[in-house]
Amino acid sequence: MPTDTEDLVSRLRNARTVVALTGAGVSSASGIPTFRGDDGLWKQYRAEDLATPEAFAHDPKLVWEWYDWRRATIAAAQPNAAHAVLAKWSQRPGFTLITQNVDGLHERAGTNNVIRFHGSIWELRCAAECGAAPWDDHTAPMATLPPMCPSCGGIARPGIVWFGENIDPDVLERASAAAAAADVFLSIGTSSLVFPAAGLLHHAKRNGAFTVEINPGATDVSRVVDLPIAAPAEDALGMLDARVRMG
Ligand code: OAD
């Protein structure tokens, strides 16, 4: 094992606080397409047509058909080895997992205290903001599209942060505070192109974190991090976990 990886193993053993920020690449081995890879969703579909408030206002049924298809794909998938290692690490005090993924696979793997930066595909809320609390809905496929708000009978929307929308201020605050306090910050399976999520690594680095990227491809942060690991998350995390346990 290269010396720099041994250094990371020792840091992971001794860190008081570890933050992992995950993106679509972590779910890739579960068979869920990423957004910007060669077979990525944004290569086949236009984000403007499907993941903006304007798209939803224009054609809620079309937007829901796309989310219904994604929900069915995700429901048929299983968490992979990357999710399993992060779930295990989440049992340790001082570990925070921030995910951009809306698929819920970290939770299904048993991860504690997931900060869902971009919301959840399994949460619905009233599009008209009638005052109903958001609710969980795990049916896939859904019985009717678009689904309705049980309180006012209006159209429901996915509880996902779309392009042009703000991150929930409480979520942003918790994620920023965790990043600022991190001894080790791991950026895993994300293209680091979507802000403010991509800013968390820079925030952590400015505040003294040792920063690591795990991604088989190069990104804008590959040259910024202290240690880039050019490998799939399901392999690299398994290797790191085995080394950390060996003591
Ligand atoms: P992207 O599709 O932009 O990036 C996925 C990254 O995962 C790429 O850099 C790949 O090289 C990497 N990757 C692929 N397979 C991998 C593997 N097995 N292990 C590790 N890395 C791998 O996805 P995100 O960065 O998550 O927004 O995209 C950010 C946001 O843009 C998403 O949250 C989504 C999207 O529009 C919402 O859903 C609101």
C-alpha–C-alpha distance, residues 184 and 199, integer Å: 15
Is 138 marked active-site? no
pLDDT of 2: 63
Give nearest CA residue, ligand 1 atom 11. 217
At residue 247 the predicted structure's pLDDT band, cuts being 50, 70 and 90, is low
Which pTM does this prediction carry? 0.97
Question: What average pLDDT does range 74-90 have in this prediction?
Answer: 98
Which of 38-42, 132-136, 153-157, 226-230 comes out lowest in average pLDDT?
Answer: 38-42
> Which of 21, 26, 27, 28 has the most ligand 1 atoms within 8 A of CB, as the residue to mutate?
28
Q: Is the pLDDT of residue 113 over 90?
A: no
Q: Which residue, 157, 66, 158, is CA-closest to 121?
A: 158
21 CB within 6 A, ligand 1: no
pLDDT tens digits along 154-163: 999 999 999 9
- Ligand 1 atom closest to residue 34's alpha carbon, by position in its atom list: 2
C-alpha–C-alpha distance, residues 48 and 64, integer Å: 14
- Ligand 1 atom closest to residue 190's alpha carbon, by position in its atom list: 25
